[in-house]
Amino acid sequence: MADGGRWSGVCIEFELSKDKEALVVIGLVSGGSAEKSGFLSRGDHIVGIGKKGNTVTPLSGLTEEAMLALVDGAEGATTTFAVKRGDTTEFIDITADATNDGVIVKEIAPEIGYLKLTAFWPEDVVREDVEGRIDALAQNGVRSLIIDLRGNYGGSIEAAAHLLALFAPENGTLLIVAGYRQDSFEEYQAYNAALRGKWADWKLAVLVAGESASASEIVAGVLKEWGMLIIGTTTMDKGSGQPPPF
């Protein structure tokens, strides 16, 4: 849950395992309670979830929505996770806390700004807070921006599209979400820019690395198509979507 640039939760992003019997950890929000626990890592399989002191519910046989509903993201609430590693299952308690939004915006040289995003979440932070901070840079004469997406595991595609729209060279389609449903290839959602971006004339450079995934890869890919500079190593190549972090 978000509140003015801060939000509470266990700060984990999950996706459903291939066998649909567990949740797989695909991201830990920087500075969040899960990362600070030092126990969970990307790729861990969560096979059971429960409130501390209560019975841990096995995830096998549940829908993804039912699995996620077991996580209590209210600030101060403690959730027990059963983590399967090899032939053993370990249990870890993580208490949801309030964390910063993972956004850094500053001027690093005359007319050059820097934007660090650890996730495209919470959506309202990206849509409102980030835009407001970049606006402040623009008022100070900034006309170039380094967008640092290293370690950004993704998040809301709507938030990613909103950021892209701010720099869109013209109005029109920003990106299209498509994929296979049974045997047919379908377009699910198109995201459009109603107007040319208010910072369309800015020069952008994007920093990426191996843990840049999902929505951050989309942003980097679109900006590359627009002729912007991409710097870094090969990204995760995730190629799928999932619910926001809890």
Helices marked H in 17-152: 33-37, 64-69, 123-124, 131-139
Question: According to the model, what pLDDT value does residue 120 have?
Answer: 84
Question: According to the model, what pLDDT value does residue 64 have?
Answer: 86
Q: pTM to 2 decimals?
A: 0.69
What pairs with residue 106 in β-bridges? 114
In angstroms, the CA 226 to CA 132 distance is: 23
> Token pair 């109603």 is at which residue?
194
Nearest 5°: the CA angle 230, 124, 32 is: 75
Contact, 47 vs 84, CB < 8 A?
Answer: yes
Question: According to the model, what pLDDT value does residue 112 have?
Answer: 97
Residues 123, 75, 52, 81: is their CA dihedral positive or negative? positive
B/e letters for 116-131, b = 16+ CB within 10 Å, e = fewer, are bbbbbbbbbbbbebbb
Question: According to the model, what pLDDT value does residue 6 have?
Answer: 41
CA distances from 245 to 119, 121, 156, 194, 202 (A): 10, 8, 10, 29, 31
Q: Which residues of the chain have pLDDT under 70?
A: 1-8, 30, 98-102, 180-182, 188, 238-246
What tokens does 150 get? 């290293």
CA neighbours within 13 Å on the CB side: how many for 30? 17
CA distances from 6 to 55, 97, 131 (A): 31, 10, 16
Question: According to the model, what pLDDT value does residue 5 have?
Answer: 38
B/e letters for 29-49, b = 16+ CB within 10 Å, e = fewer, are bbebbbbebeebeeebbbbbb
For 26, the 3-state DSSP assignment is strand
